[in-house]
Every structure is written in structure tokens, then in C-alpha cells.
Amino acid sequence: MRIIGGEARGRIIRIPKGCRLRPTSDMVREALFNILPPVTGGSFLDLFAGCGTVGLEAASRGAARSLLVEKDPLLAKAIRASAEGLGLAGRTEVMAAEAERAILLLSARGERFDFVFIDPPYERGLIEPTLERIASGNLLAQAGFAIVQHAAGEGVQTDSIGGIVLRDQRRYGNTLLSFWQGA
């Protein structure tokens, strides 16, 4: 995997050997950052970060702060090493925690984000509860975006959750990006 835009463009993101994750493809990341308003100067939260490709991409593209949440401590360590190697450590923070716990902690701190990227394991029913926690925890800045990457056949049965409204969906093969926005 590599960074596709910004100051670290073309640089390789190291993925630990034996990693059996589903990293966000270059094509989907390119589409994501082309659809979103510029992340420059904004705050970016990457939940279920995995190898960190999306959060590191946001930092490379100028996000003032990119917080990546990954429950696996070995992957969290690899993300830190990648951020350091890419020269993005100053704008990147890694939290080794379950997404649910991280949301509670960030909410208790009063933190808000301009962009929240959610890429939970497919077909586990985590999309709606995660969006509900983000809404109730007030993690999304006013008019901020929550973007969910999920399998094309998986989704949410509503177009509004706690003041977060579904604005757009784009399909890339079997992957769907759902763009939610705070009111």
C-alpha cells in the first residue's frame, strides 16, 4: 500500500507480515478524498484503522490532526512506525483501543472532528451502533462528515441517526462509501 496524495505521495505504508486485513484500496481512497472537501487544517478520526492507510492519507493531505484508532496493539505499533517513517508523526496520533471505548473517551474529553472515517469489519452489524455513538457523543463537528466504508450489501436502514444525515453513497466494486453529515 502507498500514500496517493499530499506531502508523502508515493511513499509506501508498511503492513505487518501475516496481516489479514482488508486495507482500503488506492482507488477507494482516491475517490474518498476527491469527494470530500479538502481536509487541510481539519481534524480527522479514523476508527477501525487497521493498517492506517486512510488516516495516514489524511495527514499527508494536510489534516492538522489525524487520530487513528485500532484495537490490535501490534497494528497500532505498526501505524506509529509508518507515521514516523512517512514524516507524519507530528500530526498523527494512534490510540490502541476498541472503537466503542475510544468514542466514549473522546466524547468525555469534549473532542470533535471535521471528518470521521469508519471502516468496521464487514457484515458484523457495527455501522449503525457506531454512528449512534458518534452522534450521541457529539464527536462530529458542525457540518462535519462521517464516512462509512462497507460491503455493498450491508448498510443502515435509515437515512438519519441522531442528527447525522445520509448525504451520498458511491459504489466501487463490492465496496460502498456512505457519506453522512452533521446538521
- Which CATH number belongs to the domain containing residue 120 in this structure? 3.40.50.150
Residue 126 domain-assigned?
Answer: yes
Q: Residue 99: pLDDT above 90? A: yes
d(CA 65, CA 113): 9
62 sits in the region (left: phi over 0; alpha: psi -120 to 50; else beta) called left
Q: What band does 15 get if pLDDT is binned at 50, 70 and 90?
A: confident
111 sits in the region (left: phi over 0; alpha: psi -120 to 50; else beta) called beta
Cβ distance 78 to 97 under 8 Å? no
CA angle 170, 174, 176 (to 5 degrees): 30
Mean pLDDT computed over 126-146: 95
Residue 14 domain-assigned?
Answer: no
What pLDDT is recorded for position 19? 65
Residues in the chain: 183
Mean pLDDT computed over 123-130: 89
Q: Residue 141: pLDDT above 70? A: yes
Q: Residue 28: pLDDT above 70? A: yes
H or E element that contains 55 = helix 53-60
What are the strands of the beta sheet with 175-182, ordered from one edge? 92-95, 65-69, 43-47, 113-118, 140-151, 175-182, 164-172, 160-161
Q: Residue 43: pLDDT above 90? A: yes
Residue 8 domain-assigned?
Answer: no
Q: What pTM did the predictor assign? A: 0.95
Residue 16 domain-assigned?
Answer: no
What pLDDT is recorded for position 182? 87
Residue 1 domain-assigned?
Answer: no
What pLDDT is recorded for position 20? 66
Domain that holds residue 99: 26-182
Mean pLDDT computed over 18-38: 86
Residue 51 domain-assigned?
Answer: yes
Cβ distance 141 to 114 under 8 Å? yes
Mean pLDDT computed over 118-137: 92
Q: What band does 146 get if pLDDT is binned at 50, 70 and 90?
A: very high
Q: What band does 183 get if pLDDT is binned at 50, 70 and 90?
A: confident
What pLDDT is recorded for position 125? 86
Q: What band does 112 get if pLDDT is binned at 50, 70 and 90?
A: very high
Give how many domains the chain has, as a whole number.
1
What pLDDT is recorded for position 156? 79
Cβ distance 137 to 113 under 8 Å? no
